[in-house]
Amino acid sequence: MPPDSPPLDNTYRVETPEGIDLVLRPAGLVPRVLAFALDLVIRLALLATLGLGLASLGQFGMGAGALLMFVVQWWYMVLFEVLSDGRTPGKHWLGLKVIHDDGTPVGWASSLTRNLLRFVDMLPFGYFLGAICCLWHPSFKRLGDLAAGTMVVYREPVGTKALLPNVDPVAPPFPLELYEQRALISFAERQASLSPARREELAGILASPLQTTPELAEAQLHGIARGLVGPA
Protein backbone atom coordinates (compact mmCIF):
# COMPACT_ATOMS: atom_id res chain seq x y z
CA MET A 1 0.00 0.00 0.00
CA PRO A 2 1.45 3.44 -0.87
CA PRO A 3 2.49 5.49 2.18
CA ASP A 4 0.04 8.28 1.33
CA SER A 5 -2.99 5.96 1.16
CA PRO A 6 -5.76 6.69 3.67
CA PRO A 7 -6.16 4.27 6.57
CA LEU A 8 -8.54 1.36 6.05
CA ASP A 9 -10.20 1.77 9.44
CA ASN A 10 -12.63 4.58 10.15
CA THR A 11 -10.78 6.51 12.83
CA TYR A 12 -9.87 10.13 13.45
CA ARG A 13 -6.81 10.95 15.55
CA VAL A 14 -6.42 14.10 17.63
CA GLU A 15 -3.24 14.95 19.50
CA THR A 16 -4.00 16.52 22.88
CA PRO A 17 -1.84 19.28 24.42
CA GLU A 18 -0.25 16.58 26.61
CA GLY A 19 0.99 14.79 23.48
CA ILE A 20 -1.51 11.94 23.74
CA ASP A 21 -3.18 10.60 20.61
CA LEU A 22 -6.96 10.55 21.07
CA VAL A 23 -8.62 8.07 18.71
CA LEU A 24 -12.19 8.95 17.69
CA ARG A 25 -14.63 6.94 15.57
CA PRO A 26 -16.71 9.16 13.25
CA ALA A 27 -20.32 8.06 12.80
CA GLY A 28 -21.43 7.24 9.27
CA LEU A 29 -24.54 8.28 7.40
CA VAL A 30 -26.85 5.44 8.50
CA PRO A 31 -26.58 5.90 12.32
CA ARG A 32 -26.81 9.66 11.89
CA VAL A 33 -29.99 9.32 9.83
CA LEU A 34 -31.49 6.97 12.42
CA ALA A 35 -30.63 9.37 15.25
CA PHE A 36 -32.17 12.28 13.34
CA ALA A 37 -35.30 10.24 12.63
CA LEU A 38 -35.74 9.48 16.33
CA ASP A 39 -35.31 13.15 17.21
CA LEU A 40 -37.81 14.08 14.49
CA VAL A 41 -40.41 11.71 15.94
CA ILE A 42 -39.86 13.21 19.41
CA ARG A 43 -40.24 16.75 18.09
CA LEU A 44 -43.41 15.92 16.18
CA ALA A 45 -44.90 14.19 19.22
CA LEU A 46 -43.99 17.18 21.39
CA LEU A 47 -45.52 19.66 18.95
CA ALA A 48 -48.68 17.56 18.57
CA THR A 49 -49.17 17.21 22.32
CA LEU A 50 -48.64 20.88 23.09
CA GLY A 51 -50.57 21.94 19.99
CA LEU A 52 -53.69 20.15 21.21
CA GLY A 53 -53.51 22.09 24.46
CA LEU A 54 -52.96 25.43 22.72
CA ALA A 55 -55.73 24.90 20.17
CA SER A 56 -58.35 25.74 22.78
CA LEU A 57 -56.80 29.18 23.47
CA GLY A 58 -57.90 30.80 20.23
CA GLN A 59 -55.65 33.40 18.61
CA PHE A 60 -53.33 33.42 21.60
CA GLY A 61 -52.91 29.69 21.22
CA MET A 62 -52.12 30.09 17.52
CA GLY A 63 -49.44 32.68 18.26
CA ALA A 64 -47.98 30.59 21.06
CA GLY A 65 -48.05 27.54 18.78
CA ALA A 66 -46.08 29.37 16.08
CA LEU A 67 -43.49 30.44 18.64
CA LEU A 68 -43.35 26.93 20.02
CA MET A 69 -42.81 25.48 16.56
CA PHE A 70 -39.88 27.85 16.00
CA VAL A 71 -38.28 26.98 19.34
CA VAL A 72 -38.65 23.23 18.88
CA GLN A 73 -37.50 23.32 15.25
CA TRP A 74 -34.34 25.38 15.77
CA TRP A 75 -33.40 25.04 19.45
CA TYR A 76 -34.22 21.41 20.27
CA MET A 77 -30.93 20.17 18.78
CA VAL A 78 -28.84 23.07 20.11
CA LEU A 79 -30.04 22.83 23.70
CA PHE A 80 -29.53 19.09 23.91
CA GLU A 81 -26.13 19.15 22.19
CA VAL A 82 -24.72 21.86 24.46
CA LEU A 83 -26.36 20.89 27.75
CA SER A 84 -26.19 17.10 27.36
CA ASP A 85 -22.59 16.46 26.31
CA GLY A 86 -23.30 16.66 22.59
CA ARG A 87 -26.21 14.21 22.73
CA THR A 88 -29.79 14.66 21.65
CA PRO A 89 -32.11 11.81 22.69
CA GLY A 90 -31.70 10.26 19.26
CA LYS A 91 -27.91 10.44 19.42
CA HIS A 92 -27.98 9.09 22.96
CA TRP A 93 -29.94 6.00 21.91
CA LEU A 94 -27.60 5.41 18.96
CA GLY A 95 -24.46 5.92 21.07
CA LEU A 96 -23.39 9.11 19.27
CA LYS A 97 -22.38 12.62 20.27
CA VAL A 98 -21.26 15.89 18.67
CA ILE A 99 -17.79 17.28 19.44
CA HIS A 100 -15.39 19.84 18.05
CA ASP A 101 -12.73 18.69 15.63
CA ASP A 102 -10.14 18.85 18.43
CA GLY A 103 -12.17 16.49 20.62
CA THR A 104 -13.51 19.16 23.01
CA PRO A 105 -17.25 19.42 23.87
CA VAL A 106 -19.38 21.33 21.39
CA GLY A 107 -20.25 24.92 22.35
CA TRP A 108 -23.17 27.25 21.72
CA ALA A 109 -21.76 28.97 18.62
CA SER A 110 -20.70 25.73 16.93
CA SER A 111 -23.94 23.91 17.70
CA LEU A 112 -26.05 26.84 16.50
CA THR A 113 -24.00 27.11 13.29
CA ARG A 114 -24.24 23.41 12.40
CA ASN A 115 -27.99 23.32 13.07
CA LEU A 116 -28.86 26.58 11.29
CA LEU A 117 -27.12 25.25 8.18
CA ARG A 118 -29.44 22.26 8.03
CA PHE A 119 -31.55 24.18 5.54
CA VAL A 120 -28.55 24.10 3.17
CA ASP A 121 -28.03 20.37 3.75
CA MET A 122 -31.70 19.82 2.89
CA LEU A 123 -31.26 21.20 -0.64
CA PRO A 124 -32.65 20.43 -3.11
CA PHE A 125 -34.85 17.99 -1.17
CA GLY A 126 -34.69 15.40 1.62
CA TYR A 127 -31.16 16.17 2.90
CA PHE A 128 -29.77 15.23 -0.52
CA LEU A 129 -26.85 17.68 -0.40
CA GLY A 130 -26.05 16.81 3.23
CA ALA A 131 -26.08 13.07 2.46
CA ILE A 132 -23.75 13.48 -0.53
CA CYS A 133 -21.34 15.57 1.54
CA CYS A 134 -21.48 13.06 4.39
CA LEU A 135 -20.66 10.16 2.07
CA TRP A 136 -17.85 12.10 0.38
CA HIS A 137 -16.06 13.33 3.51
CA PRO A 138 -13.62 10.89 5.21
CA SER A 139 -15.09 11.78 8.63
CA PHE A 140 -18.70 11.78 7.36
CA LYS A 141 -19.22 15.51 7.84
CA ARG A 142 -22.19 17.33 6.38
CA LEU A 143 -21.93 21.00 5.35
CA GLY A 144 -23.05 22.20 8.78
CA ASP A 145 -20.22 20.26 10.41
CA LEU A 146 -17.66 21.66 7.98
CA ALA A 147 -18.76 25.23 8.73
CA ALA A 148 -18.92 24.73 12.51
CA GLY A 149 -15.76 22.65 12.89
CA THR A 150 -17.68 19.76 14.46
CA MET A 151 -18.11 16.05 13.89
CA VAL A 152 -20.40 13.27 15.09
CA VAL A 153 -18.56 10.36 16.71
CA TYR A 154 -19.39 7.19 18.56
CA ARG A 155 -19.44 7.67 22.31
CA GLU A 156 -16.75 5.58 23.97
CA PRO A 157 -17.87 3.25 26.79
CA VAL A 158 -17.41 4.72 30.25
CA GLY A 159 -16.25 3.01 33.38
CA THR A 160 -13.35 1.12 31.80
CA LYS A 161 -10.41 1.23 34.16
CA ALA A 162 -7.11 2.04 32.50
CA LEU A 163 -4.40 -0.48 33.33
CA LEU A 164 -0.79 0.35 33.98
CA PRO A 165 1.98 -1.92 32.69
CA ASN A 166 2.77 -4.71 35.15
CA VAL A 167 6.29 -3.65 36.09
CA ASP A 168 8.27 -3.26 39.29
CA PRO A 169 7.90 0.14 40.98
CA VAL A 170 10.75 2.61 40.59
CA ALA A 171 11.44 5.63 42.77
CA PRO A 172 11.73 8.91 40.84
CA PRO A 173 15.26 10.38 40.83
CA PHE A 174 13.90 13.75 42.01
CA PRO A 175 10.73 15.05 43.70
CA LEU A 176 7.75 15.39 41.36
CA GLU A 177 5.08 18.06 41.41
CA LEU A 178 1.47 16.90 41.46
CA TYR A 179 0.89 17.76 37.80
CA GLU A 180 4.06 15.86 36.88
CA GLN A 181 2.83 12.80 38.74
CA ARG A 182 -0.50 12.99 36.91
CA ALA A 183 1.27 13.33 33.55
CA LEU A 184 3.41 10.25 34.18
CA ILE A 185 0.45 8.17 35.31
CA SER A 186 -1.58 9.31 32.29
CA PHE A 187 1.27 8.35 29.97
CA ALA A 188 1.46 4.87 31.51
CA GLU A 189 -2.33 4.40 31.38
CA ARG A 190 -2.52 5.34 27.70
CA GLN A 191 0.56 3.49 26.52
CA ALA A 192 -1.58 0.85 24.80
CA SER A 193 -3.20 3.50 22.56
CA LEU A 194 0.14 4.90 21.39
CA SER A 195 2.39 3.51 18.71
CA PRO A 196 5.83 2.24 19.85
CA ALA A 197 7.50 5.08 17.96
CA ARG A 198 5.29 7.67 19.64
CA ARG A 199 5.92 6.19 23.11
CA GLU A 200 9.66 6.21 22.53
CA GLU A 201 9.51 9.80 21.28
CA LEU A 202 7.60 11.04 24.32
CA ALA A 203 9.70 9.07 26.80
CA GLY A 204 12.91 10.22 25.13
CA ILE A 205 12.09 13.81 26.05
CA LEU A 206 12.61 12.88 29.71
CA ALA A 207 15.65 10.69 29.18
CA SER A 208 18.09 13.40 30.25
CA PRO A 209 16.25 14.43 33.47
CA LEU A 210 15.85 10.74 34.34
CA GLN A 211 19.58 10.19 33.74
CA THR A 212 18.95 7.30 31.38
CA THR A 213 19.02 6.55 27.67
CA PRO A 214 16.05 7.21 25.34
CA GLU A 215 15.71 3.46 24.82
CA LEU A 216 15.29 2.80 28.56
CA ALA A 217 13.29 5.94 29.41
CA GLU A 218 9.89 4.38 28.67
CA ALA A 219 10.46 1.44 31.02
CA GLN A 220 11.62 3.78 33.77
CA LEU A 221 8.57 6.01 33.33
CA HIS A 222 6.28 3.00 33.65
CA GLY A 223 8.12 1.96 36.81
CA ILE A 224 7.78 5.43 38.33
CA ALA A 225 4.05 5.49 37.48
CA ARG A 226 3.62 2.09 39.11
CA GLY A 227 5.40 3.38 42.21
CA LEU A 228 3.10 6.41 42.36
CA VAL A 229 -0.09 4.36 41.97
CA GLY A 230 0.96 1.44 44.14
CA PRO A 231 0.94 -2.35 43.63
CA ALA A 232 -1.45 -3.81 41.07
pLDDT per position as a tens digit, 174-230: 888 888 888 888 888 888 777 888 888 888 888 888 888 888 888 989 888 888 887
> Residue 182: which region, alpha, beta or left (left: phi > 0; alpha: psi -120 to 50)?
alpha
Does residue 74 or residue 115 have the better pLDDT? 115
Least trusted range by pLDDT, from 69-73, 84-88, 91-95: 69-73
Least trusted range by pLDDT, from 13-17, 105-109, 166-170, 207-211: 13-17
Average pLDDT score over residue span 32-44: 95
| pLDDT at res. 203 | 87
Distance, CA of 93 to CA of 106 (rounded, Å): 19
Other beta carbons within 10 angstroms of residue 30's beta carbon come to 10
Decide if 119 contacts 142 (C-beta within 8 A). Answer: no
Decide if 162 contacts 150 (C-beta within 8 A). Answer: no
pLDDT, one tens digit per residue, over 50-60 is 878 777 777 77
| pLDDT at res. 92 | 95
